[in-house]
Amino acid sequence: MHVEDLRWFVVLAEAEHLTEAATALGTSQPNLSRSLRRVEDAFGAALFEREHRGLRLNPYGRIVLEAARAGAAAVDAAQHRIDSLLDPQSGTVRLAFLHSVASSLLPDLLKAFRVVGPTVEFALRQGNSNEIAQDLESGDAEIGITAPRPDLERFGWHPLEQQRLALHVPPGHPLATRRRVALSAAANEPFVGLQPGFGFRRVCDDLCRAAGFTPRLAFEASDLTTIDGLVGAGLGVAVLPSSAVRGSESGAVPVPLAGVQARREIGMTWRLGAELSPVAERFRAFVRARAVTST
């Protein structure tokens, strides 16, 4: 029994006449009869009472009719959703992104893409780098905006921007007047940082380790904007990407970090071996081209 058999059954059940139903379906009576037989064989029961003027649904048939209508509607809805996803003009891009790009890079990308793809929709998922990798593995996301670089044996990667790192200090802090500062100068300061598991937390820990100290954390937050706000309130200092808290009114003062390694690379990633939907491929190509023209 196929889905089409259930569709034909609905037409026959509503017409209760074999000839009329076959005409409405544009098929022959023998074809419709064979289709009905497949449905009845699948359910193991006759679904109509045969009368000299036509057919009449019996109690089993009424049960099947209710299920057939619901099933056909569900299949139609699923097909519509798949067609929408496969449409490069109006499909849905499943996109996962870091918390720290939510107020800067991501809005810029979406705004620019809206110009060329105004009917495309986005299913957005926000998380840390590990969660983004899991979303890509499971298929919940097709493309990710993340940092640091993922495992390049499993994921594709295209760099988007290099973010200069700065030491954010409270207003009036002795380091606030510096044009540039070595991270080691903050070794004795309380730090506000991200919770363990975030990719940028590892970046900060590695930078502090290279500077010869382990940061003393006053608080661990889940997003960079909160960290910047707490620094502005005087809770401690923090290492932050300069563009991640764009437009902040916290009062925190960013002081550029000395050292050529004091940068964070943000990039676009996708799972190798997984075929992207046409609309996701269109978005990936757009982001790649935009990154090239902006460099």
Write the pLDDT tens digit of every residue in 228-268.
Answer: 999 999 999 999 987 666 656 889 999 999 875 677 889 99
**Taking 60 as the threshold, does the pLDDT of residue 93 lie above it?**
yes
The pLDDT, as a whole number, for residue 95 is 97
Residues 127 and 245 in one domain: no
Q: No. of H helices and E strands in the chain?
A: 9, 11
Residues 194 and 224 in one domain: yes
| Residue 294 pLDDT grade (very low, low, confident, very high; cuts 50, 70, 90) | low
Beta strand 121-127 with 92-98 is parallel
Task: Quick: pLDDT tens for 117-170.
Answer: 998 989 999 988 889 999 999 999 999 999 888 999 999 999 998 888 999 999
Residues 224 and 254 in one domain: yes
- The residue assigned the tokens 């029994």 is 1
Among residues 38, 66, 86, the one where a domain terminates is 86
The pLDDT, as a whole number, for residue 247 is 58
Residues 269 and 156 in one domain: yes
Query: How many domains is the chain built from?
Result: 3
The pLDDT, as a whole number, for residue 168 is 95
The pLDDT, as a whole number, for residue 97 is 95
Residues 150 and 278 in one domain: yes
CATH number at residue 106: 3.40.190.10
The pLDDT, as a whole number, for residue 242 is 73
Residues 97 and 236 in one domain: no
Query: Mean pLDDT across the stretch 81-108?
Result: 82
Query: Mean pLDDT across the stretch 102-108?
Result: 85
Among residues 86, 106, 130, the one where a domain terminates is 86
| Burial group, residue 252, by CB count within 10 angstroms (0-12, 13-18, 19+) | buried
Instruction: Look up the domain containing 45 and give its range.
Output: 3-86
Residues 256 and 197 in one domain: yes
Residues 272 and 233 in one domain: no
What one-character DSSP code corresponds to residue 257?
B
Residues 220 and 282 in one domain: no
The pLDDT, as a whole number, for residue 246 is 62
| Residue 85 pLDDT grade (very low, low, confident, very high; cuts 50, 70, 90) | low
The pLDDT, as a whole number, for residue 241 is 87
Residues 63 and 74 in one domain: yes
Query: Mean pLDDT across the stretch 211-239?
Result: 94
Distance CA 127, CA 175 (A): 32
Closest CA to 219 of 209, 234, 208: 234
Residues 133 and 203 in one domain: no
Among residues 57, 86, 115, the one where a domain terminates is 86
| Sign (positive or negative) of CA dihedral 124, 130, 136, 138 | negative
Query: Mean pLDDT across the stretch 53-78?
Result: 89
The pLDDT, as a whole number, for residue 292 is 64
Distance CA 39, CA 13 (A): 12
Q: How many other CB atoms are there within 10 angstroms of residue 33's CB atom?
A: 12
The pLDDT, as a whole number, for residue 84 is 67
Residues 68 and 187 in one domain: no
Angle between helices 59-86 and 3-15 (to 10 degrees): 130
What one-character DSSP code corresponds to residue 273?
T
When mean pLDDT is compared across 56-70, 83-97, 200-214, the lowest value belongs to 83-97
